[in-house]
Amino acid sequence: MSQPAAIPVIYVAGIGRSGSTLLALLLNSHPQICSPGEMAGYKRYRARHAGLCSCKASLHECPYWAEVSRRMAGRGLGFAAGNWRIDYRIGANYGLWRLFSGPLGNGQAERVRDWWVRRLPWTAGRVRDLERRNRALMEVLLEMSGKTILADTSKNASRAGFLARLPWVDLRLIHLVRDPRGYLASQVRRGGHAQLRPISMSRATGTYRRRFAEVRRVADSMDPARTMTLRYEDLCADPPGQLRRIAAFASVQPWPTWPIAYRSGDHHLLGNPLTYRPGDGIVHDERWKRELSAEQVRYVMARTARARKFFGYE
């Protein structure tokens, strides 16, 4: 039997509040790219949460995702709206998940662990099941869109690592980033951190550093030609220029001439529908400049020096 062709996948890795919903919409506007948003979203996709699709319907009510479920069932795969089981999570609880499939803080340790997880009988079965379900879902989404490349903006590094190890995935990784000052102000504003107290700032900058390192470990293990970095600020300042970069990186034809109607049409985007507002233009969010004090800026800059230097945020 001949080997079926690998599925081209563009994976957007990074941290929240960095413009990934905007990027998902822009990617989806390309005639060859199908971007359903964040394909992995363990807790959010459970049935008890309403309004999970960007069309405002819950996943079991949205006709688009109902059709996806129907086609998955046609392939013999149960695919309940609230329980897709495609996230790369091995283990029945949080502790086991961290151990078997979460970030360990060290690339060598993660490679050894991942090798064993694919071979130990009781975890290998789970990995094979995840592979089967992910492959079927990607094929169904491409089949329904009539497109050839899938873009997944799930952001987490563990999923990037999982996809990078699959022989049937032709992976290209976009490391999407945002100025740490903008990230921090956004986190604080949304109520994730009640006030700009030192402990909250410490937590937010800690997350920023950790997520940076997690994505870099995956990116550094890949062919450099298969990875690119993209700054949220550059995407807002020059969308057509950044789309030209992405098209060259992904080996696809250039986007149609800017402006493109990336927000019009029938979207059923997964992930963070709260940030999806039809009709909005691209607005570069620089509110941190008036929201953070000089002292807070100094603190963030000092704590995120490695990531900042890497991405050129001075």
Could you tell me which residues come within 8 angstroms of residue 224 by beta carbon, excluding any fewer than 6 positions away? Answer: none
The helix, strand and coil proportions of the chain, stated in percent and rounded to the nearest 5, come to: 50, 10, 40
24 binding Zn ion? (CB under 5 A): no
Considering the complex, state which of residue 15 and residue 25 has its C-beta at the smaller distance from Zn ion.
25
Pairing of strands 169-177, 227-231: parallel
Considering the complex, state which of residue 183 and residue 276 has its C-beta at the smaller distance from Zn ion.
276
In whole angstroms, how close is the CB of 16 to Zn ion at the nearest point?
A: 21
60 binding Zn ion? (CB under 5 A): no
Q: Which stretch binds Zn ion (CB under 5 A): 2-10, 45-53, 188-196, 221-229?
A: 45-53
* Contact positions with Zn ion (CB under 5 A) in 230-249: none
Considering the complex, state which of residue 212 and residue 262 has its C-beta at the smaller distance from Zn ion.
262
55 binding Zn ion? (CB under 5 A): yes
* Contact positions with Zn ion (CB under 5 A) in 284-303: none
59 binding Zn ion? (CB under 5 A): no
Closest-CA residue to 8 (of 156, 142, 159): 142
In angstroms and rounded to an integer, the radius of gyration of the C-alpha atoms of the chain is: 19
Closest-CA residue to 100 (of 88, 83, 108): 88
Q: Which residues pair with 12 in a beta bridge?
A: 174
* Contact positions with Zn ion (CB under 5 A) in 137-196: none
Residue whose tokens read 């997350």: 207
27 binding Zn ion? (CB under 5 A): no
Considering the complex, state which of residue 79 and residue 288 has its C-beta at the smaller distance from Zn ion.
79
In whole angstroms, how close is the CB of 52 to Zn ion at the nearest point?
A: 8
Question: Count of CB atoms within 10 A of residue 226's CB?
Answer: 13
Considering the complex, state which of residue 46 and residue 189 has its C-beta at the smaller distance from Zn ion.
46
62 binding Zn ion? (CB under 5 A): yes
Q: Which stretch binds Zn ion (CB under 5 A): 2-10, 218-226, 267-275, 294-302?
A: 267-275
Q: Which of 53, 164, 173, 300 binds Zn ion (CB under 5 A)?
A: 53
Answer for the pair 141, 36: CB distance below 8 angstroms, yes or no: yes
Closest-CA residue to 204 (of 190, 189, 183): 183
- Our measurement of the distance from residue 296's CA atom to the centroid of its chain's CA atoms, rounded to an integer in Å, reads 28
Could you tell me which residues come within 8 angstroms of residue 229 by beta carbon, excluding any fewer than 6 positions away? Answer: 174, 175, 176, 177, 311
In whole angstroms, how close is the CB of 256 to Zn ion at the nearest point?
A: 25
Considering the complex, state which of residue 64 and residue 288 has its C-beta at the smaller distance from Zn ion.
64
In whole angstroms, how close is the CB of 221 to Zn ion at the nearest point?
A: 35
Residue whose tokens read 């005639």: 31
In whole angstroms, how close is the CB of 269 to Zn ion at the nearest point?
A: 8
Residues that bind Zn ion (CB under 5 A): 53, 55, 62, 64, 268
